[in-house]
Amino acid sequence: MNRRSLMTLLASLAATRSHSASPASMQTAFQIIQKQVDAGVLESAVLHVRRGDQVTQQAFGKAQPDSMFLLGSITKPLAVALPVMILVDRGELKLSDHAVKYLPEFNEGARKEITIEQLLVHTSGLPDQLENNNELRARHAPLSDFVKGAMHTPLLFTPGTKYHYQSMGILLAAEIVERVTKMKLPDFLAEEVFTQLGMSRSVLGLGKFKKSDMVPMQTEHAAPEAGAGDPNAREWDWNSDYWRNLAAPWGGAHSTAADVAAFLRGFLHPDGKVLREATARLMIQDHTPTLEAHRGIGFMVGPAGLGKGCSARAFGHSGSTGTLAWADPATDTTFVLLTALPKNVSGSLILYPVSDLISAGA
């Protein structure tokens, strides 16, 4: 980026941010992102950073500050773990409850021993995706078919003994929420989460929005479970009508950078609107201290996978769609970077370089 481009970018920033000028590290972050836009690698992105009362937000490429992105796995803590904990607060379930209590068909062998907590911290033994994931998506299967598959798919290990990232465990936790509340998860979220937090441009699936309201994904770089850029997958990849409407609880939420930041701030400064303070604190504690990955309830915790400069108290999540969001109580910082470029490309080029820079606070 030349000096004139940088000055133009900073002038644009002044019109959208809420507080004073950004530090040098923020300007370098802008350059990292803009470089990939100028090179034709990145089509759209929005960066939102808040440290204390200072807020900086900037859109890049084709994006606007309020553009809605496909969040990928940031959906997990936002759209599943949080609703589960709302029900915990209400006394309608416990994390220690066995999943079979609410899913009576989930009763084969060791499945009977899997707890709701294990579904949320990725220690259930369930796989990330079903073996026939692509086939299900290719025939536009409803979520109920994924649920049936997750009920009976083989476990990879004895529940509670290992960590293995598992979208299917998150799916079953979402199914429990629907059975307990007798509401569809997108409706529960709209009423109990998004409205309460002022997240007016957030939705699981599309809801009242249209696909044209959403930032298109650069699907030529898609993850394997989303078609891996295969032209034959266009009817079921991240940009398809099918996927945008499916409301997959492991990756199908849409939101803005500012809305995701509002979600995170609710854990830095819990106000009781959605969760009791003690429950919010419980979600961001390390529930797997002896295992290879450190997980809160739905969240990653600690610096690994978030930002090199994050403290051990940091929490957040990334998404294979090219997203990264975290909050750090040690510095009262929230960081949200949403892009249209899948993480298998944007991770090393954009997401982590920018996150490392901001988390270091240089």
> What amino acid is encoded at 63 in this protein?
A
Quote the pLDDT of residue 2: 43
Quote the pLDDT of residue 22: 54
- The Cα 242–Cα 235 span in angstroms is 7
Quote the pLDDT of residue 361: 78
Strand partners, 86: none
pLDDT in single tens digits along all 362 residues of the chain: 444 344 444 434 433 333 333 578 999 999 999 999 999 999 999 999 999 999 999 999 999 999 999 999 999 999 999 999 999 999 999 999 999 999 999 999 999 999 999 999 999 999 999 999 999 999 999 999 999 999 999 999 999 999 999 999 999 999 999 999 999 999 999 999 999 999 999 999 999 999 999 999 999 999 999 999 999 999 999 999 999 999 999 999 999 999 999 999 999 999 999 999 999 999 999 999 999 999 999 999 999 999 999 999 999 999 999 999 999 999 999 999 999 999 999 999 999 999 999 999 74
* Domains defined along the chain, listed by start: 69-75+184-343 (3.40.710.10)
Quote the pLDDT of residue 238: 98
Quote the pLDDT of residue 302: 97
Quote the pLDDT of residue 37: 98
Question: Count of CB atoms within 10 A of residue 153's CB?
Answer: 17
- The Cα 242–Cα 234 span in angstroms is 10
Q: What is the pLDDT of residues 173-207, one digit of tens each?
A: 999 999 999 999 999 999 999 999 999 999 999 99
- The Cα 66–Cα 43 span in angstroms is 16
Neighbour order of strands in the sheet with 203-204? 69-70, 253-255, 203-204
> CB–CB of 246/141 below 8 Å?
no
Question: Count of CB atoms within 10 A of residue 215's CB?
Answer: 25
